[in-house]
Amino acid sequence: MALEGRAPWEYAAMLAATPWLRRLPRGDGHPVLVFPGLGANDFTTGPLRRFLDELGYTTHPWGQGFNFGPRNGVLQRSHADVRALFAKHARPVSLIGWSLGGLYARELAKELPDHVRCVITLGTPFTGHPRATNAWRFFELVSGQTVNDPELIAQLRQDPPVPTTSIWSRTDGIVSWRCSVVTPAPQAENIEVHASHVGMGMNPLALYAIADRLAQPPGQWKPFEPHGGRRWFYRGGHPAD
């Protein structure tokens, strides 16, 4: 948990890296819906959305206040939002979810695969047991739900049928990194970054990876391959330990 104190430094690093980040490939204007983490709201995803807006994407906040879990109506509203954005822009929507928000993104992609272009999660615990995180008690308190639901856990482990990227960190102080590692598949990959949990959406390495993933043309998805000196900052695949 003490490692989470790095978040302000990650924000400062993002500001310092702005000239470099602005040289990333321009976006094609497609819609991107961003979900905040547990106990967070759209304010926390503001830096990420501004970054993507500046690159040329059309980002949208989730617009449901603080994320206190999938309470009554939350997923239904999110489902309707994805459908509305798809209809408005006449093209699939990319979904980015931070922590718990990543579970929403993954589940929505399973329900609406024709409406979703790709899914990117940041420190999202979709595998392992929910009690392997430091937030499970808070989740049960604010959501009124239990994490001990074997059927739901099995469902969350299933990958969406769209290109899916899990960005995670071994130094995540909230979510055990093992809970965020997907088994590599033709459309599923891991990108490891050195980041805190609460600062991941502002971490320059995570931002670079997100921009790289979003810039891929539809139907031409390939695994993340940083080139040159950048490859020393990233690890992928399926770590053994």
Alpha helices in the chain (DSSP H): 7-16, 18-21, 46-55, 74-89, 100-111, 136-143, 150-157, 204-214
| Residues forming beta bridges with residue 60, ordered by sequence position | 33
* Sheet with 188-192, edge to edge strand ranges: 58-61, 31-35, 93-98, 116-122, 164-168, 188-192, 235-236
What was the pLDDT predicted at 15?
77
SS3 category, 196: coil
- DSSP classification of residue 74: H
Residue 105: both structure tokens together: 């993104």
Question: What pLDDT sits at residue 239?
Answer: 64
* pTM given for the model: 0.89
In the chain, where the domains are located? 2-236
pLDDT tens digit sequence for 74-107: 999 999 999 999 999 999 999 999 999 999 999 9
**C-alpha span between 11 and 200 (Å, rounded):** 9
Has residue 241 got a pLDDT over 70? Answer: no
Q: Checking phi first, is residue 62 left (phi over 0); if not, alpha (psi -120 to 50) or beta?
A: alpha
DSSP state of 27: P
Check pLDDT > 70 for residue 238.
no
Q: What is the mean pLDDT of residues 211-233?
A: 84
**Which of the listed CATH numbers 3.40.50.11270, 3.40.50.2020, 3.40.50.1820, 2.60.40.10 matches domain 2-236?**
3.40.50.1820
Question: Is the per-residue pLDDT at 132 higher than 70?
Answer: no
pLDDT at 151: 78
113 pLDDT exceeds 80? yes
